[in-house]
Structure 1
């Protein structure tokens, strides 16, 4: 009896690679090439050639290090608060209270508001003749009001920017976490309740581990966008509260120096990529390392 012939493997069709071509072109055109061009521009000397003159000018600028400090402060304060609020709102919505549909749309509305519009809204509240000082005057707490946005009060300037950013951008984290919670079966949480787990134990050992992919995405997006927070702080404080992204605008548009502006932009890019790598490593699922178990 003749042995059965083995099917010939033949040549693999190139379809999977062809499908990758559009996304590859998109990444190269809209990310890789601008990033390379920005790196080259940041080290171009005004007289020709390449060097570190632009980096030295950037670091010597009196607004640069305050901008670094303010940007890091904003991220360290805003990101944890946003995640605490977003997780709380998402869990409340998952419990299906009355008017849950209204709550969802009310909490998601700031997502449709532009950065500048949000800054102007909160400017009307924190301005010297704004709604907050008017309320304090009407309650008899303060006759002359308080200069919340004065350069003499950096703490209240930071507070105003933090509150405005919380109102404007928490909805983004909220939407991502709601999507993540919607695919987690409720049976896991119910089983934990049957075995006597408290709310905190269920949140720590059941909900948050299953929500890790959504938290990872939200953290990366929100941190990158926090580095780009410009319009809100600009509308509220102007140059009294400098941020890194605002320094790129100042160098490029006001001082007409694209080389130093590119150097500041490269700092933002480097820190953003480093932060994203830390998030990806810290929130990596156990066992996803490529090693045999």
Structure 2
């Protein structure tokens, strides 16, 4: 009996299936074939060449470090901005539009903006020089800590607005009745945020967490503009292998690593945030 409805539903979902096959499945199959097929058939030579490259492990370490440091900072800042906006200050709409301006700026343009600040003759060193402090080579390969700090600050400025917009959208669906009831029973502001608001925001936070982790794994243009290859990232290595080293097979192998990490992160977040009481309970 279920075959009839299923047969009628097939023409409705067929365009979506064809679209997803053309958009995702076929490129994925092509990429896997390119990473594992050599002139003499199946091979793991491209994978071995990838893992033997010291830049690969440095890029993997830098990408992991960027995610571990950047994402908690972005969520803390986005939540703080959303909570401030929730209190409906004067000119709240203007504040919102100012905070989301970085969404309209491309990754490369954002990197160039911050390059003008951190470069040896940039605005930051000009201010230090005017204050009588010796300029500092912030982006020198001899100073990896400040180079990493510059990338974090640039990415924090560029991408926090995405989390902010998702959190603000989620807050629109949270009834204020729960918050007011908790206040009547003597809950403090931070208790209401922790036990009332955040559980209601779990779906929005989950979406934002998955998106930001995947986008952080794909970070490239900002770091490339600021540091070149002095601060390699995984997606940057696909660019290097494809353009500079003229080896699309190894480039595809690195891209598949990024894809695998993105899938593992998304599945892990979904399983982790699925457990626990439902929001509002």
Same fold by TM-score greater than 0.5: yes
Q: Which runs of structure 2 are paired with 1:68-107 in the superposition (5 Å)?
A: 68-107=60-99
Whichever structure has more helix as a proportion of its residues is 2
What does residue 193 of structure 2 align with? 203
CA distance in 2, matches of 1:26, 1:92: 42
TM-score, normalisation: structure 2: 0.95
- RMSD of Structure 2 on Structure 1 (CA): 1.7
Going from structure 1 to structure 2, the CA distance change for 1:25 and 1:9 (only over 3 Å counts) comes to closer
Q: How does 1:111-126 map to 2 (within 5 A)?
A: 111-126=103-118
Tell me what 2:170 maps to: 180
Q: Distance in 2 between matches of 1:78 and 1:11?
A: 51
SS at match of 1:197: coil
Please say if 1:129 is aligned against 2:121: yes
- Classify 1:89/1:77 alpha carbon distance in 2 versus 1 (closer, same or farther; 3 Å): same
Instruction: Find the counterpart in structure 2 of residue 19 from structure 1.
Output: 12
For residues 144-223 of structure 1, what are the structure 2 equivalents within 5 Å? 145-223=135-213
- Which stretch of structure 1 is more off in the superposition, 17-26 or 156-165? 17-26
Within the candidate set 63, 84, 102, 2:55 is matched to 63
Deviation at 1:231, TM superposition (A): 0.6
Q: What is the correspondence of 1:234-249 to structure 2 with a 5 Å cutoff? A: 234-249=224-239
User: Residue 140 of structure 1: CA displacement?
Assistant: 1.6
The 3 A distance-change label for structure 1 pair 11 and 265 is closer
TM-score of the superposed pair, with normalisation by structure 1: 0.91
Residue correspondences, number = 278
Q: In the TM superposition, what whole-angstrom CA distance separates every residue of 1:229-263 from its partner, at most 9, and x where no partner exists?
A: 11100000001000000000011111111110111
SS in 1 for 2:19: helix
Alignment deviations for residues 31-71 of structure 1 (CA, whole Å, 9 cap, x no partner) = 111112111111122x3211110010000112111000000
Question: 1:140-175: CA deviations, max 9, x gaps?
Answer: 222xx0000000000001000000000000000000
Q: Distance in 2 between matches of 1:287 and 1:233?
A: 40
In structure 2, C-alpha distance between the alignment counterparts of 1:285 and 1:22, rounded to whole Å = 34
1:14 Cα offset (Å): 4.3
Shift of 1:24: 1.6
Give the deviation of 1:214 after TM superposition.
0.4
Query: Using the alignment, how far apart are the partners of 1:9 and 1:237 within structure 2?
Result: 59
Q: Residue 279 of structure 1 aligns with which residue?
A: 269
Q: How far has the Cα of 1:196 moved from its partner?
A: 1.1
Quick one: distance in 2 between partners of 1:87 and 1:10? 48
Q: Deviations over 1:264-286 (max 9, x none)?
A: 01110111100000100111154
**C-alpha separation in 1, matches of 2:6 and 2:244:** 54
Matches of 1:80 and 1:220, distance apart in 2? 13
